[in-house]
DNA sequence: TGCATGCGTCTTTAGACAGCATGTC
DNA sequence: CTAAAGACGCATGCA
């Protein structure tokens, strides 16, 4: 099937032809056959980079009215905005938290690109444009299963569809175990495919030997340990290295092939990266933590990868760009790495640094990025080879296997269409974990997507929203709103009844919702003024409650300062917490005691003392920030990443504005809040 | 006495969405 | 319920 056979204008056909898009990929053809161009609801569960964006464009271009493209990341929204804006004759708008665009402007667009939270917020604030949509495309729908953000996505989609029954819904998902459940939910046709434009082979490396799933294999020379041992890996190594007591305890290996001096995973990773780069390919290496990403990059900087690729000048230029961002330790480390043709990437980086790394990699000015999972689901950075060094990560239950879906997304970054003959994903393991790794990630299916709507916190938030927007005034009507939800389709809306009742009780107790008796046995649920502001400001009910209490307490303080304002908003579930190390604890405790006259919390009282101390730490950082401290100072003093500082400042702005709005609705004015906000 | 080495213990650990009105160059 | 790597600190050992 060819692009020009599709119901598209000739200028659009030309636009695609200019980019070499003339023929449809098989999954795209399947989507067309399922009716994406004819207004049909379609769920496409296909691998990354198999042309999902084109499917989205087809739906949006052929829809009979304005379209909405929903995606999970602001960076992704910007990326899509640009590709849509390049289409001839299409007016595109973008709406994310960090990008200003008023509702008025959005109403005039053919396509609006937005994050799911922003759409939710627009609905809560009564934006008119959401009712005029003819088509909604949801990217990465499998995020439905995400703990905190999943419920927002499903409630938003359900609300959009409920208010506009003619809305065409197109959902794009990574390969998951139950795409049929998602399709069932949306009454949509399912397009399922594992086709990729570039072949992907996945293998497990033990030592320097990689066995791929297509039967091929690869051997690389691993500089074992750190010492001299340059002779290859050709069997027969007489074991010397010190005391040899290894033979006795292990009975599992009868053969001679298991070596006792297994090279460590980092060396294997370095060898795999060097091998790919020597062949002219770029690499991504995924590791477990931020520090290990930096360490690995610094280790790879010794490999001379920039010289291998012949990109020294461009690498220098990228390094200079990184230096221009700030004078942070992180920035200097990054610049040094970039000069050697490598980089690291994690959420502790400021956005400036991140984009330097991403664009340098796309321009082939960096040979390898060492990354935490940020890069797995983020913007488009395909590489020839992906090395997943760590498959386990510290989590709630100690060391946990990383979900298969996530590892598949990392692996899916391998293979640049038109540039690489094929993509290679290599999972680094050892003799003990080889079988488990292969079973779980090479042969294993990704997890099923499960609704998280039953989570009490999520339910409280969305119950409040349903009441505050006036969509529901009784528990029955609330259940009606949730009826169109993934959870309801999977479990039955009745399963929510008890939980909704609890949520309503909680909200009443919190002063967000009131029961207005209307008849003998009937009452109506209405949002209080505070509840309404809370919902419109898009903060969680618990946050609204804490802020209201904090404002009242602050008003009673004889000397409320900006620190007071920061303490209130930081002691809120909408502010991310800041790690409080043992060494700092005493210092922060002392700080809290010295400043107790400016704090709204009685130090002897809080039940979560540790959590509160963390809030005080965050508040202190923010207060020093508005006091003129530099990023460099704060980063060093409080051991947080430069990017972490930025994101806390950003959240503080948002929460302070919510605090101001709440103060206005309860008639409590705390000048310190406004002062803090304007100084941010 | 000074420095290197080794061993036990302590510390730390991924990511990232959201509001809004008004003024200014 | 299942960790692992690096930093740190102390003791020992050797020149």
pLDDT tens track for A417-472? 888 889 999 999 988 899 999 999 999 999 999 999 999 999 999 999 999 999 99
A206 within domain boundaries: yes
* Residue nearest the C1' of C5 (CA based): A292
Judge if A132 and A267 occupy the same domain: no
A237 within domain boundaries: no
Judge if A420 and A283 occupy the same domain: yes
A255 within domain boundaries: no
Q: How many CA atoms lie within 13 A of A475 on its CB side?
A: 18
Tell me the C-alpha distance between A357 and A318, whole Å: 8
A240 within domain boundaries: no
**pLDDT band of A245, cuts 50, 70, 90:** very low
A234 within domain boundaries: no
Spell out residues with C-beta < 7 A from strand C. Answer: A 264-266, 291-292, 295, 392, 394, 397-400
**pLDDT band of A522, cuts 50, 70, 90:** confident
The 3-state DSSP class for residue A245 equals coil
Query: Could you tell me the distance in Å between the CA of residue A405 and the C1' of nucleotide B5?
Result: 45
Query: Could you tell me the distance in Å between the CA of residue A545 and the C1' of nucleotide B6?
Result: 55
Q: Is A124 exposed, middle or buried (0-12, 13-18, 19+ CB in 10 A)?
A: buried
State the pLDDT at residue A264. Answer: 85
Choose the weakest-confidence range: A80-89, A473-482, A559-568, A606-615: A606-615
Chain C nucleotides with an atom closer than 7 Å to a protein C-beta:
1-6
Contact criterion met (CB below 8 Å) for A34 and A4: no
Choose the weakest-confidence range: A31-45, A457-471, A515-529, A593-607: A515-529
Tell me the C-alpha distance between A665 and A64, whole Å: 42
State the pLDDT at residue A493. Answer: 72
- A121-158 pLDDT, tens digit per residue, is 999 999 889 999 999 999 999 999 999 999 999 999 99
* Residue nearest the C1' of B12 (CA based): A581
Quickly count: other Cβ atoms within 10 Å of residue A459's Cβ: 25
Specify the DSSP class assigned to residue A379: S
Whether residue A167 has pLDDT greater than 50: yes
Q: How many CA atoms lie within 13 A of A456 on its CB side?
A: 10
Whether residue A674 has pLDDT greater than 70: yes
Judge if A13 and A120 occupy the same domain: yes
Residues in a beta bridge with A11: none
Judge if A166 and A209 occupy the same domain: no
Sign of the CA dihedral A334, A335, A336, A341?
positive
**pLDDT band of A235, cuts 50, 70, 90:** very low
**Element (DSSP H or E) covering residue A532:** helix A529-536
Contact criterion met (CB below 8 Å) for A326 and A631: yes
- A529-574 pLDDT, tens digit per residue, is 999 999 999 999 999 999 999 999 999 999 999 999 999 999 999 9
C-alpha dihedral (A471, A475, A479, A480), degrees to nearest 10? -50
Whether residue A28 has pLDDT greater than 60: yes
State the pLDDT at residue A263. Answer: 77
Nearest to A577 by CA among A540, A625, A619, A606: A619
**pLDDT band of A99, cuts 50, 70, 90:** confident
A236 within domain boundaries: no
Query: Could you tell me the distance in Å between the CA of residue A137 and the C1' of nucleotide B8?
Result: 57
Query: What b-and-e string marks burial along A51-88, b requiring 16 or more CB atoms within 10 Å of the CB?
Result: bbbbbbbbbbbbbeebbbbbbbbbbbbbbbbebbeebe
Average pLDDT over residues A388-396: 92
| Closest nt to residue A371, judged CA to C1' | B14
Nearest to A374 by CA among A423, A417, A409: A409
Judge if A531 and A548 occupy the same domain: no
The 3-state DSSP class for residue A7 equals coil
A319 within domain boundaries: yes
Query: Could you tell me the distance in Å between the CA of residue A295 and the C1' of nucleotide B7?
Result: 24
Average pLDDT over residues A11-24: 93
State the pLDDT at residue A228. Answer: 37
State the pLDDT at residue A390. Answer: 95
Judge if A434 and A468 occupy the same domain: no
State the pLDDT at residue A105. Answer: 78
Query: Could you tell me the distance in Å between the CA of residue A414 and the C1' of nucleotide C5?
Result: 28
CATH number, domain containing residue A552: 1.10.3380.30
Tell me the C-alpha distance between A16 and A404, whole Å: 34
CATH number, domain containing residue A277: 3.40.50.300
Contact criterion met (CB below 8 Å) for A44 and A172: yes
* Residue nearest the C1' of C3 (CA based): A399
Query: Could you tell me the distance in Å between the CA of residue A238 and the C1' of nucleotide B5?
Result: 26
- As for how many domains chain A has, the answer is 4
State the pLDDT at residue A258. Answer: 39
| Closest nt to residue A400, judged CA to C1' | C2
Whether residue A178 has pLDDT greater than 80: yes
Average pLDDT over residues A282-310: 92
Query: Could you tell me the distance in Å between the CA of residue A304 and the C1' of nucleotide B5?
Result: 32
| Closest nt to residue A295, judged CA to C1' | C6
- Phi, psi values for residue A405, rounded to 5°: -55, -40
Q: What is the mean pLDDT of chain A?
A: 90
Provide the residue range defining the domain that includes A155. Answer: 3-192
Whether residue A368 has pLDDT greater than 50: yes
Judge if A213 and A122 occupy the same domain: no
Share above pLDDT 90 across residues of chain A, in percent, rounded to a whole number: 80
Query: Could you tell me the distance in Å between the CA of residue A456 and the C1' of nucleotide C11?
Result: 54
Whether residue A255 has pLDDT greater than 80: no
Tell me the C-alpha distance between A31 and A29, whole Å: 5
Judge if A469 and A571 occupy the same domain: no
Judge if A464 and A397 occupy the same domain: no
SS (H, E, C) A143-186: HHHCCCHHHHHHHHHHHHHHHCCCCEEEEEECCCCCHHHHHHHH
A447 within domain boundaries: no
Contact criterion met (CB below 8 Å) for A61 and A137: no
Q: Which segments of A388-441 does DSSP mark as H helices, in order?
A: 404-411, 434-437
Whether residue A350 has pLDDT greater than 50: yes
At which of A377, A411, A442 does a domain end?
A: A442
Judge if A47 and A186 occupy the same domain: yes
Contact criterion met (CB below 8 Å) for A459 and A500: yes
Judge if A672 and A657 occupy the same domain: yes
Query: Could you tell me the distance in Å between the CA of residue A433 and the C1' of nucleotide B5?
Result: 32
Tell me the C-alpha distance between A238 and A146, whole Å: 51
Choose the weakest-confidence range: A38-42, A218-222, A297-301, A394-398: A394-398
For A502, the token pair is: 């609890």
Choose the weakest-confidence range: A94-98, A222-226, A314-318, A590-594: A222-226
Question: Is position A333 annotated in a ligand binding site?
Answer: no
The 3-state DSSP class for residue A371 equals strand
Whether residue A51 has pLDDT greater than 60: yes
Chain B nucleotides with an atom closer than 7 Å to a protein C-beta:
10-22
| Closest nt to residue A536, judged CA to C1' | B19
| Closest nt to residue A398, judged CA to C1' | C2
Place of tokens 């379209």: A67
Average pLDDT over residues A380-401: 92
| Closest nt to residue A402, judged CA to C1' | B14
Whether residue A211 has pLDDT greater than 70: yes
What is the number of residues in chain A? 680
- Phi, psi values for residue A461, rounded to 5°: -60, -50
Whether residue A388 has pLDDT greater than 80: yes
At which of A484, A515, A536 does a domain end?
A: A536
Judge if A392 and A511 occupy the same domain: no
At which of A505, A536, A567 does a domain end?
A: A536
State the pLDDT at residue A262. Answer: 67
| Closest nt to residue A390, judged CA to C1' | C4
């Amino acid at each position: 099937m060819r692009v020009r056979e599709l119901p598209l204008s000739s200028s659009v056909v030309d636009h695609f032809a200019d980019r070499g898009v003339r023929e449809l990929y098989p999954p795209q053809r399947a989507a067309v056959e399922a009716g994406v161009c004819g207004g049909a609801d379609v769920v496409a569960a296909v691998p990354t980079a198999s042309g999902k964006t084109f499917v989205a464009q087809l739906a949006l271009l052929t829809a009979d009215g304005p379209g909405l493209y929903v995606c999970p990341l602001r960076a992704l929204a910007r990326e899509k905005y640009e590709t849509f804006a390049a289409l001839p004759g299409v007016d595109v708008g973008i709406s994310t938290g960090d990008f200003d665009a008023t509702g008025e402007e959005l109403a005039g667009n053919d396509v609006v690109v937005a994050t799911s939270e922003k759409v939710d917020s627009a609905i809560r604030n009564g934006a008119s444009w959401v009712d005029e949509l003819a088509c909604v495309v949801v990217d990465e729908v499998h995020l439905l299963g995400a703990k905190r953000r999943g419920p927002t996505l499903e409630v938003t989609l359900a609300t959009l569809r409920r208010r506009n029954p003619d809305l065409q819904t197109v959902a794009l998902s990574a390969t998951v175990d139950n795409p049929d459940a998602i399709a069932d939910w949306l009454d949509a046709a399912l397009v399922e495919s594992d086709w990729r434009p570039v072949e992907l082979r996945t293998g497990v490396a033990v030592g320097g030997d990689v066995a791929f799933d297509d039967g091929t294999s690869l051997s690389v020379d691993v500089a074992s340990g750190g010492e001299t041992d340059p002779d290859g890996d050709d069997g027969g190594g007489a074991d010397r290295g010190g005391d040899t007591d290894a033979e006795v305890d292990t009975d599992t290996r009868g053969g001679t092939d298991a070596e006792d001096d297994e090279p460590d995973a980092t060396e294997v990773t370095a060898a795999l990266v060097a091998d790919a780069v020597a062949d002219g390919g770029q690499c991504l290496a995924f590791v477990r933590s931020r520090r290990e990403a930096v360490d690995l990059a610094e280790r790879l900087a010794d490999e001379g990868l920039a010289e291998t690729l012949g990109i020294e000048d461009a690498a220098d230029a990228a390094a200079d760009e990184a230096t221009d961002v700030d004078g942070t330790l992180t920035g200097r480390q990054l610049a040094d790495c970039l000069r050697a043709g490598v980089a690291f990437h994690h959420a502790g980086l400021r956005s400036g640094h991140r984009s330097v790394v991403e664009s340098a990699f796309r321009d082939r000015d960096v040979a390898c990025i060492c990354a935490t999972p940020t890069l797995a689901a983020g913007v488009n950075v395909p590489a020839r080879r992906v090395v997943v060094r760590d498959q386990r990560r510290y989590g709630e239950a100690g060391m946990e296997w990383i979900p298969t879906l996530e590892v598949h997304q990392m692996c899916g970054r391998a293979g640049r269409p038109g540039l690489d003959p094929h993509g290679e994903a290599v999972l680094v393991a050892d003799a003990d974990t080889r079988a488990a790794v292969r079973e779980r990630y090479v042969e294993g299916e990704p997890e099923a997507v499960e609704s998280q709507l039953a989570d009490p916190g999520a339910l409280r938030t969305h119950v409040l929203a349903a009441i505050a927007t006036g969509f529901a005034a009784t528990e029955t009507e609330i259940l009606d709103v949730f009826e169109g939800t993934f959870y309801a389709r999977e479990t039955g809306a009745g399963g929510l009844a008890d939980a909704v009742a609890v949520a309503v009780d909680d909200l009443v107790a919190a002063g967000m919702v009131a029961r207005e008796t209307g008849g003998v046995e009937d009452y109506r649920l209405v949002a209080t003024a505070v509840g309404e502001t809370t919902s419109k400001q898009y903060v969680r009910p618990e946050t609204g409650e804490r802020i209201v209490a904090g404002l009242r307490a602050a008003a009673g303080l004889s000397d409320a300062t900006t620190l007071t304002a920061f303490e209130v908003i930081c002691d809120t579930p909408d502010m991310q917490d800041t790690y409080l190390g043992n060494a700092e604890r005493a210092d922060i405790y002392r700080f809290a005691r010295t400043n107790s006259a400016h704090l709204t919390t009685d130090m002897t009282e809080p039940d979560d003392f540790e959590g509160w101390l963390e809030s005080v730490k965050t508040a202190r950082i923010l207060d020093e920030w508005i006091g003129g401290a530099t990023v460099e100072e704060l980063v060093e003093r409080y051991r947080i990443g430069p990017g972490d500082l930025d994101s806390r400042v950003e959240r503080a702005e948002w929460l302070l504005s919510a605090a101001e709005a709440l103060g206005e609705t309860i008639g409590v004015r705390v000048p310190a809040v406004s002062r803090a906000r304007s100084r941010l």
